[in-house]
Amino acid sequence: MNRKFTRREFGMMAGAGVAASTLAAPAIGQAKPKLVVVGGGPGGATVARYVAKDSKGAIDVTLIEANARHTTCFFSNLYIGGLRSFDSITHGYDKLKSDYGINVVQAFAIGVDAARRTVTVAGGETFSYDKLVVAPGIDFEYDAYEGYSKEVAETFPHAWQAGPQSQILRRQLEAMEDGGVFLIAPPPNPFRCPPGPYERISLVAQYLKQNKPRSKIIAVDAKDKFSKQALFQEGWARHYEGMIEWLPLNITGGVKKVDVRGKTLHTGGESFKGDVINIIPPQRAGAIALAAGLANESGWCPIDPFTMASTRVPHAYVIGDSSIAAQMPKSGFSANSQAKACAMAIRAALTGSRAFEPRYSNTCWSLIANGDGVKVGASYQATKEKIASTDTFISKTGEDAATRTATAEEAEGWYAGIVADIFG
């Protein structure tokens, strides 16, 4: 029986499990090694759960999360389009506490002292760690467009962090008159969920077609092409003929200026007026990742592809959207996948447990209409340079309705499965 992989590049990880002397020394006076995780989204909650579950109590796990409940970005377009309730995409941390013994702290982390190995939260409390995982998701470049700001995002929501922002957008769509214009500005690369803006366009189109059929959608994109483009454009022509106008960067030059009172987005040339305006701004790693010195000049955090360990700050790991996972897209699926490889590496480092070759994968489903689903996915491998894609698949244009219905149903099943895998 041949193992498909060798221990070539992976020797350092295996080695970590062998000699007790290489284990991180627990902070003085502590019986158990401590893991602190910042951020309870798909990345952070998964890594906390897997370390707690697989170390069987040998590692003390604290999860610091700003909110009492987490609304998943994935499936938030279904909420915005009226296919799902807000409650059905919102999840608490009770099982992580009761079933896995995780110390869940509701607080906002504001700083990391890498020398002392402590995390400070707003209010001043500190938490010491042997290993730290930072998984805060994204933050926005609010100064990207003239006239745009965090405050303006309350009027022209991004809805790119699910929660109150998604609710604002939903309410605005409900209040919009028939014949109105939904104006959306998708961001430049790299950003969270590459097919996300186009799924949003699709599901808003479906809502408008059913409820306000004279309305229009205009997309002023910051890119010339996008994920699953052929599939989306085929679907838009089939389901929403004449309703959607997608304008690539090379036509408009992209958004330059935001006029709140005039409800207008100005580009280099033409200006666009909207009744509901959804600006999805350029992005970078979550603020705490920058504050902790984990990000490089790109605004994202470089990592060791084998373990997700930061290449900049010792004893820290970065997973999910904040990390530079090279060819892996910024998705909830990717964050969950990275979390499991990271959890294994952390256990090996703290308790000497066996470390296997990390496995990474991703699948992103998108709904083009209710019951018309498409997907794209890949396997990835850690190499010295990066997490590299090895094998991919994608839905095809011209697929029959039965296949698309089955794909949409898979997405439902996946949602239930991954939520259980993240939150217990």
Ligand X SMILES: Cc1cc2nc3c(=O)[nH]c(=O)nc-3n(C[C@H](O)[C@H](O)[C@H](O)COP(=O)(O)OP(=O)(O)OC[C@H]3O[C@@H](n4cnc5c(N)ncnc54)[C@H](O)[C@@H]3O)c2cc1C
Contacting positions for ligand X (CB under 6 A) = 38-44, 64-67, 70, 73-74, 76-77, 108-109, 135-137, 160, 192-193, 196, 200, 286, 288, 320-321, 330-333, 335, 364-365
Kindly tell me which residue out of 379, 386, 388, 389 binds other proteins, with binding defined by CB under 8 A.
379
The per-type count for the chain, helices as H runs and strands as E runs, is: 12, 22
Q: Name which of 204 and 335 has its Cβ closer to ligand HEC.
A: 335
Could you say which of 259, 399, 410, 421 contacts ligand HEC (CB under 6 A)?
410
Element (H, E) at 150: none
Q: For ligand X, give the closer residue by CB, 253 or 302.
A: 302
Q: Which is nearer to ligand X, 252 or 334 (CB)?
A: 334
Question: Could you write out the three-class secondary structure of the chain?
Answer: CCCCCCCHHHHHHHHHCCCHHHCCCCCCCCCCCEEEEECCCHHHHHHHHHHHHHHCCCCEEEEEECCCCEECCCCHHHHHCCCCCCHHHEECCHHHHHCCCCEEEECCEEEEECCCCEEEECCCCEEECCEEEECCCEEECCCCCECCCCCHHHHCCCCCCCCHHHHHHHHHHHHCCCCCEEEEECCCCCCCCCCHHHHHHHHHHHHHHHHCCCCEEEEECCCCCCCCHHHHHHHHHHHCCCCEEEECHHHHCCEEEEECCCCEEEECCCEEECCEEEECCCEEECHHHHHCCCCCCCCCECECCCCCEECCCCCEEECHHHECCCCCCCCHHHHHHHHHHHHHHHHHHHHCCCCCCCCEEEEEEEEEECCEEEEEEEEEEECCCCEEEEEEEECCCCCCHHHHHHHHHHHHHHHHHHHHHHHC
Closer residue to ligand HEC in complex, CB, 414/423:
414
Return the residue of 274, 318, 359, 374 that touches other proteins, per CB under 8 A: 359
Give how many residues touch other proteins by CB under 8 A: 39
Check binding of 414 to ligand HEC (CB under 6 A).
Answer: yes
Choose which of 122, 270, 391, 397 interacts with other proteins (CB under 8 A): 391
When binding is defined by CB under 6 A, the residue of 67, 106, 233, 363 that contacts ligand HEC is 363
Out of ligand X, other proteins, ligand HEC, none, what residue 330 binds, judged by CB under 5 to 8 A for its kind, is ligand X
Cα 100 vs. chain centroid, distance in angstroms? 24
In the complex, the smallest distance separating the C-beta of residue 148 from other proteins, rounded to whole angstroms, is: 35
Residue 280 interacts with which of ligand HEC, other proteins, ligand X, none, CB < 5 to 8 Å by class? none
AA letter at 116: R
The interface partner of residue 71, options being ligand X, ligand HEC, other proteins, none and the CB cut-off 5 to 8 Å by kind, is: none
Which amino acid is it at 225?
Answer: K
* Contacting residue, 19, 28, 115, 416, with other proteins by CB under 8 A: 416
**Measured from the CB of residue 193, what is the shortest distance to ligand X in angstroms?**
3
Window contacting other proteins (CB under 8 A); options: 112-120, 244-252, 286-294, 357-365: 357-365
Q: How far is the CB of 67 from other proteins (least distance, A)?
A: 23
Q: In the bound complex, what is the minimum distance in angstroms from residue 369's beta carbon to ligand HEC? A: 20
Q: Considering the rule CB under 8 A, would residue 392 count as an interface residue with other proteins?
A: yes
Does 381 engage in binding with ligand HEC (CB under 6 A)? no
Dist CA 261 CA 136 (whole Å): 33
What is the closest distance, in whole angstroms, from the C-beta atom of residue 88 to ligand X in the complex?
Answer: 14
Q: Supply the minimum distance, in Å, between the C-beta of residue 413 and other proteins.
A: 3
Q: Which amino acid is at 216?
A: K
Binding of ligand HEC by 399 (CB under 6 A): no
Query: What residues make contact with ligand HEC under the rule CB under 6 A?
Result: 363, 410, 414
Query: What residues make contact with other proteins under the rule CB under 8 A?
Result: 1-5, 50, 54, 333, 336-337, 340, 344, 354, 356, 359, 361, 363, 375, 377-379, 390-393, 406, 408-418, 420-421
